[in-house]
């Protein structure tokens, strides 16, 4: 059975801190790893990773995939209160199936 | 910017009733998905749909569920005889042919009483 595990489950930090969120996976026929941010409702896309070792960046967020370790990290630098959300890691495996982790709930306090 | 839309945003139904959840994927997208998220739990894959047929489905997607693309724009999820445990947020997502990134709709919150 495909599995995606995220850690930590939740995290409280102060504005300006840097955080690292972890995702590890075991899936059949890995296709890609995606990070999403979920605030009130629908997940919104952050990054898609398919190749090991290539960092993707968007502003203060960055992510990298390690296919040897079957894992990925999402970094957020200089956190802001608007970064408070649940961060979801999802892995595409099999033919079309996508398996989500339980998410990391990040709370950034002023 | 094009978006996936879903209707209704909320639906309350009685156990045993049929419900149809509707989605309009982004217009040039070719792969369509349904997910559900039970309150406080993780997002779970239900089914993927391409070229007018199911391409993959999960163990959750049993005979009570069906999907259809009745016309060129809508993508529907039907639950034939709802159970209490079907209460969840149902998300539709779509993507283009050669990219893995899926774009999610705002969801339909289904409550089965």
The residue of chain B nearest to residue A32, with distances taken between CA atoms, is B100
CA–CA gap between residue B104 and residue B45 (Å, rounded): 12
pLDDT of residue B72: 77
- B100 CB neighbours in chain A (<8 A) are 31-32, 34, 48, 50, 92
pLDDT of residue B100: 78
User: Do A42 and B99 lie within an 8 Å CB cutoff?
Assistant: no
A27: left (phi over 0), alpha (psi -120 to 50) or beta: beta
pLDDT of residue A41: 78
Q: pLDDT tens digit string along A12-39?
A: 999 999 999 999 999 888 889 999 999 9
- A-B C-beta contacts closer than 8 Å: 57
Q: For chain A, state the CA radius of gyration.
A: 13
pLDDT of residue A25: 95
**Domains of chain B, each with CATH number or no CATH:** 5-102 (2.60.40.10)
Instruction: Please give the C-alpha separations between residue A87 and each of A20, A97, B43, B70, B72, in angstroms, as whole numbers.
Output: 11, 19, 12, 34, 33
Say what percent of chain B tops pLDDT 70. 100
Instruction: Kindly tell me if the per-residue pLDDT of A96 is higher than 90.
Output: no
**Domains of chain A, each with CATH number or no CATH:** 3-103 (2.60.40.10)
Q: Considering chain A, what is the average pLDDT of its residues? A: 93
Residues of chain B with pLDDT under 50: none
Is any Cβ of chain B less than 8 angstroms from the Cβ of A20?
no
Tell me which of B36, B58, B59, B100 to substitute to probe the interface with A (most A C-beta atoms closer than 10 Å): B100
Cβ-based neighbour number of residue B53 at 10 Å: 8
Instruction: Please give the C-alpha separations between residue B70 and each of A28, B30, B53, in angstroms, as whole numbers.
Output: 32, 14, 12
User: Do A100 and B31 lie within an 8 Å CB cutoff?
Assistant: no
pLDDT of residue A94: 67
CB of A65 closer than 8 Å to CB of A7 = no
The residue of chain A nearest to residue B9, with distances taken between CA atoms, is A41
């Amino acid at each position: 059975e495909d599995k995606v595990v995220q850690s930590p489950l939740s995290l409280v930090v102060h504005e300006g801190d840097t955080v690292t969120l972890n995702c590890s996976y075991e899936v059949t026929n890995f296709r890609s790893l995606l990070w999403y941010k979920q605030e009130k409702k629908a997940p919104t896309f952050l990054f898609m990773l398919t190749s090991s070792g290539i960092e993707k960046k968007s502003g203060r967020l960055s992510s990298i995939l390690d296919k040897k370790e079957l894992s990925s990290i999402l970094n957020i630098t200089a956190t802001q209160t608007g970064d408070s959300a649940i961060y979801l890691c999802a892995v595409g495996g099999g033919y079309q199936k996508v398996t989500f982790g339980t998410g990391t709930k990040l709370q950034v306090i002023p | 910017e094009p978006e996936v839309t879903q209707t209704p945003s909320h639906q309350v139904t009685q156990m045993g009733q049929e419900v149809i959840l509707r989605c309009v994927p982004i217009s040039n997208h070719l792969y369509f998905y349904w997910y559900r998220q039970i309150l406080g739990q993780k997002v779970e894959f239900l089914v993927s749909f391409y070229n007018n047929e199911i391409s993959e489905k999960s163990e959750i997607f049993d005979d009570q569920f069906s999907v259809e693309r009745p016309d060129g724009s809508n993508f529907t999820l039907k639950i034939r005889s709802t159970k209490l445990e079907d209460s969840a947020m149902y998300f539709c997502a779509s993507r283009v042919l050669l990219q893995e990134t899926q774009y999610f709709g705002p969801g339909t919150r289904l409550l089965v009483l």
